[in-house]
Amino acid sequence: MCTKYSQSVAAIWTEERMELNESQLWQSLTITQQSHGPDSFKCTEYLDALAWIQTSEGRIDQAVALYTKGLEIKRHALGEQHVAVACAVRNLADLSYRQGDYAQAESLAKQALEIFTNALGGKSEQAQNVLNKLIALFTWQGRHDEAAELQGKLVKEEQTFCNICERPYNGAQCLWCTGTSRIVHSFNFSVAEALTR
DSSP-assigned beta bridge partners for residue 169: 160
- In three state form, how does the secondary structure of the chain look? CHHHHHHHHHHHCCCCCHHHHHHHHHHHHHHHHHHHCCCCHHHHHHHHHHHHHHHHCCCHHHHHHHHHHHHHHHHHHHCCCCHHHHHHHHHHHHHHHHCCCHHHHHHHHHHHHHHHHHHHCCCCHHHHHHHHHHHHHHHHCCCHHHHHHHHCCCCCCCCEECCCCCCEECCCCCHHHHCHHHHHHHHHHHHHHHHCC
Please report the pLDDT score of residue 96 as a whole number: 95
Please report the pLDDT score of residue 176 as a whole number: 58
For the ranges 25-29, 75-79, 172-176, the lowest mean pLDDT is seen at 172-176
DSSP-assigned beta bridge partners for residue 160: 169
Please report the pLDDT score of residue 38 as a whole number: 92
Distance CA 49, CA 177 (A): 48
CA distances from 66 to 48, 52, 62 (A): 7, 9, 6
Per the CB < 8 A criterion, the answer to whether 83 and 120 are in contact is: yes
Please report the pLDDT score of residue 9 as a whole number: 52
Distance CA 71, CA 62 (A): 14
Please report the pLDDT score of residue 79 as a whole number: 94
Please report the pLDDT score of residue 186 as a whole number: 38
Please report the pLDDT score of residue 104 as a whole number: 97
Choose among 58, 136, 132: nearest CA to 95.
58
- Checking if the pLDDT of 191 tops 50, the result is no
Domain spans of the chain, in order of start: 2-156, 157-197
Please report the pLDDT score of residue 125 as a whole number: 87
> pLDDT tens for residues 109-163?
999 999 999 998 888 889 999 999 999 999 999 999 999 999 988 877 555 666 6
Choose among 136, 155, 156: nearest CA to 146.
136
Please report the pLDDT score of residue 147 as a whole number: 92
CB atoms within 10 A of CB 178: 14
Please report the pLDDT score of residue 170 as a whole number: 53
CATH superfamily ID and name for 2-156: Tetratricopeptide repeat domain (1.25.40.10)
CA distances from 31 to 26, 43, 63, 185 (A): 9, 9, 20, 56
pLDDT band of 172, cuts 50, 70, 90: low
Please report the pLDDT score of residue 21 as a whole number: 83
Q: Considering the entire predicted model, what is its pTM?
A: 0.70
Distance CA 167, CA 182 (A): 13
- Checking if the pLDDT of 184 tops 60, the result is no
> pLDDT tens for residues 47-92?
999 999 999 999 999 999 999 999 999 999 999 999 999 999 999 9
